[in-house]
Amino acid sequence: MRRLTPALVLLLLTACGGSGTGAEGTAPGAGYPLTVRNCGADVTFDAEPERVVLLKSAAVPFLHDLGVLDRVVARAGRFPADYYDEATRAELDAIPSLTDRLDTSGHLQISREVVIAQRPDLVIGEVDNLDRATLEAAGIPLLEEPALCGSGVPDVGFDDVSEQMEFYGAVFDRRERAAAAAAELRERVADLTVPATGRTAAVLYPTVGGGVTYAYGSASMANPQLEAAGFTNVFADVDDRVFEVTREELIARDPDVLVLLHSDGDPQAVTEAVTSMPGLAGVTAVRDGAVLPLLFNFTEPPTPLAVEGLARIVERFPPVGAVS
């Protein structure tokens, strides 16, 4: 049985009522009230959102491609410039930043009062002290990327990128533009995908300065991304999205290539956090210098940035015999 994707769930919900059809259907904002399903919850919009607060960076490329990034009245967290083209960076620079303060684990530190003071009609991105229930109590809807929900996304893949584009297209009443953008994403993924090369890879999130190293399994976007780049994920047999991994396990799996995710900061420090581990010098990827530090959203969650991340992996590690 085919799983219910965000776009299909949205279609089923609107087909059951509240779709704004009838005599008023031709008025501006037709299609509202609109109820969508997100992270297991129904979220209803009486009109297209006009005052959006971003608490995570993942949705930025969706909103830019739909032409609604100017609806964002405030943002919080870090939005590394390397993610975006010049036009998107200019749009982000025009959006006031509430804070970029993160704790040692990379989680945003922001108060409920600061967000509510912006009078948002939509918050995108859930953080520890601002969950859905907290915001709903203040009458504010929340949307999170499905792959970052507690249950994740079953069988995650590049189709989820296109479907999430169409999901946001419905929320912001930009369905035609979303359909065109989704088609372009599918075409680019098809153009980037290479045959299996027989090489292996691992995607890790190391802690700079010492600490836990995380690896990404079959439930993560890293898995289909590596497959599209021609690799076999050495942790594909682990059903989790992300999990702690020991250096002994990493040595035993001996990947040919390492992709090292990080949220911000110095890529070289991220590389050294792994390559300086005792015993890692003998791992094939480290010995051959086949290591690529990559900003987190270039792999997780499924967004247009994951498509760009695929392009960067293929460029850095082209198929054997290909002209780079």
42-45, long-range: CB < 8 A, 24+ apart: 42/13, 43/141, 43/142, 43/143, 44/18, 44/141, 45/121, 45/122, 45/141, 45/171
- Residue 1 confidence class, pLDDT cut points 50, 70, 90: very low
**Chain length of the chain:** 324
Q: Examine the pLDDT at 12 and tell me if it is beyond 70.
A: no
Q: Which pLDDT score, from 0 to 100, does residue 319 have?
A: 86
The domain boundary, picked from 162, 189, 216, lies at: 189
Q: Which residues span the domain enclosing 265?
A: 193-316
The closest alpha carbon to 294, from 314, 267, 255, belongs to 267
Average pLDDT over residues 289-298: 96
Q: Which pLDDT score, from 0 to 100, does residue 8 have?
A: 35
Instruction: Answer yes or no: do 166 and 297 share one domain.
Output: no
Instruction: Answer yes or no: do 168 and 210 share one domain.
Output: no
Instruction: Answer yes or no: do 125 and 267 share one domain.
Output: no
Please name the residues in contact with 81: beta carbons below 8 A apart, sequence gap of 6 or more: 89
Instruction: Answer yes or no: do 312 and 197 share one domain.
Output: yes
The domain boundary, picked from 141, 172, 189, lies at: 189
Q: Report the distance separating Cα 250 and Cα 273, nearest Å.
A: 14
Instruction: Answer yes or no: do 15 and 63 share one domain.
Output: yes
Instruction: Answer yes or no: do 220 and 155 share one domain.
Output: no
pLDDT tens-digit series, residues 129-152: 888 999 999 999 999 999 888 776
Which segment of 90-104, 187-201, 297-311 scores lowest on mean pLDDT?
90-104
The closest alpha carbon to 179, from 262, 57, 324, 66, belongs to 66
Q: Which pLDDT score, from 0 to 100, does residue 155 have?
A: 86
Q: Report the distance separating Cα 30 and Cα 22, nearest Å.
A: 10
Q: How far is CA 66 from CA 105, 169, 323, in A?
A: 32, 7, 35
Query: Tokens 């090489």 correspond to what residue?
Result: 199
- Summary mean pLDDT of the chain: 87
Within a domain: 234 = yes
The domain boundary, picked from 170, 189, 208, lies at: 189
Entry pTM:
0.86
The count of domains in the chain is 2
Within a domain: 321 = no
Within a domain: 152 = yes
CATH number for the domain harbouring residue 244: 3.40.50.1980
- Residue 168 confidence class, pLDDT cut points 50, 70, 90: very high
Q: Examine the pLDDT at 7 and tell me if it is beyond 60.
A: no
Residue pair 165/63 in contact (Cβ under 8 Å)? The answer is no
Instruction: Answer yes or no: do 183 and 202 share one domain.
Output: no
Instruction: Answer yes or no: do 132 and 11 share one domain.
Output: yes
